[in-house]
Chains A and B, each alone.
Chain A
Amino acid sequence: MRLDVLNRGYRPGARLLFAAVRLFSGRPLPDAAKLTFYRPDFYGALAKEFTHEAMRGPSAWSVGDRELMAAYVSKVNGSAFCVGAHTATAAQAYGDAPRVAAVLADVEAPPVEEPLRATLRMLGRLTRDGEVGAGDVREVLAAGATPEQVRDALAVCAAFNTTGRLADAFGFELLSPEGYAAGAKFLLKRGYR
């Protein structure tokens, strides 16, 4: 990562964990996970809690839907690390990689159903422009989403607008397809905590 402290400034307990992960998985811990161990009291602890709540907490959206939203928001931001990570996680969650690829290529394409499509459109607008109006939300509600689903989707959007910015600013190292797949497996088993 672009700050030396994020590569070398970890406490002994975290360093031991990084070494154990590398030993048992044959891969280094991805930078997205590593970052949360740097001065966790400042950012990592609450960031993990919020992301876990948004991605795995109670919601009418499936885990696959939320991972797809994360991938889509990351795509709009041009955040390569997060696109890779959440495309892989959504594909595994749905058990349908072509569906995820098709939606990310064109949100208006056939495989995506309402109200997910209208929700993705709104998140894209919010991520691109930094704002949405009541009219945008009304379209999502009219497409069949409940107000709770809109709220849940906004939390996913907030989580990945933060993570994606940190990925790009700190320069998270991109992973191989196998690395993203291994990370996805972990995220589906353990979540973000």
Chain B
Amino acid sequence: MPDEDRKRAVHQALVDRVLHGDGRASAELRARAFRNEGLAPPLDALIGKVADSPAQVTEADLAAAKASGCTEDQLFELVVCAAVGRSSRMYEAGLAALAEATAEEGPDHAP
């Protein structure tokens, strides 16, 4: 496998691990945190901030999620899923844009 693909392969292994490997939070909940959709309050607020405005996360967001019945280990997993999920979408969007940009060049412009 070429080196440039190894980075993506390791990233994909991380994505697969946090989504489908063993966890204290259910795979369903981890998938929702990863996609930042379909979560009930107060988890939705915490995960939404991790995905969209991480600098805005407060102690109170984590406290509210804990008070709703999440254990710390579950929160650890769900926050990781939200962070990896958002980054993963950016990575995929960038790679898709690159594929489109290089495909458009066509054979006449190939080096």
Contact = CB atoms under 8 A, between A and B. Distances in A.
Interface residues of A, number: 56
A130 interface: yes
A91 B68 CA distance: 44
Given A130-B86, A161-B87, A43 B98 contact: no
A130 B93 contact: yes
Contacts of A150: 94, 98
Interface of A: 2-6, 9, 38-39, 41-43, 46-47, 49-50, 53-54, 57-58, 77-80, 122, 126-127, 130-138, 141, 147-148, 150-152, 154-155, 157-159, 161-162, 164-171
Contact of A42 (B59, B80, B83, B88): B80
A50 B18 CA distance: 14
B3 interface: yes
Nearest to A3: B72
Interface in B82-104: 82-84, 86-91, 93-95, 97-98, 100-102, 104
A49 B79 CA distance: 20
A151 B101 CA distance: 12
Contact of B7 (A80, A151, A168): A151
Contacts, number: 154
A3 B75 contact: yes
Interface residues of B, number: 47
- Most chain B CB within a 10 A radius of its CB, from A57, A77, A155, A164: A155
B94 A162 contact: no
Most buried by A among B18, B50, B80, B104: B80
Contacts of A127: 90
Given A79-B55, A151-B4, A46 B98 contact: no
Interface of B: 3-4, 6-8, 10-11, 13-14, 17-18, 21, 23, 46, 49-51, 54-55, 57, 59, 62, 72-73, 75-77, 79-80, 82-84, 86-91, 93-95, 97-98, 100-102, 104
Contacts of A167: 54
Contacts of B95: 151, 154
A147 B83 contact: no
B55 A77 contact: yes
18 contacts: A3-B75, A43-B80, A46-B13, A50-B14, A53-B6, A53-B10, A57-B6, A77-B55, A126-B93, A131-B90, A132-B93, A133-B97, A150-B98, A151-B95, A159-B87, A161-B87, A165-B87, A166-B80
Contact of A47 (B14, B54, B90): B14
4 tightest CB-CB pairs across the interface, nearest first?
A165-B83, A134-B100, A158-B91, A161-B87
B4 A169 contact: no
A69 to B, nearest CB: 12
A162 B89 CA distance: 11
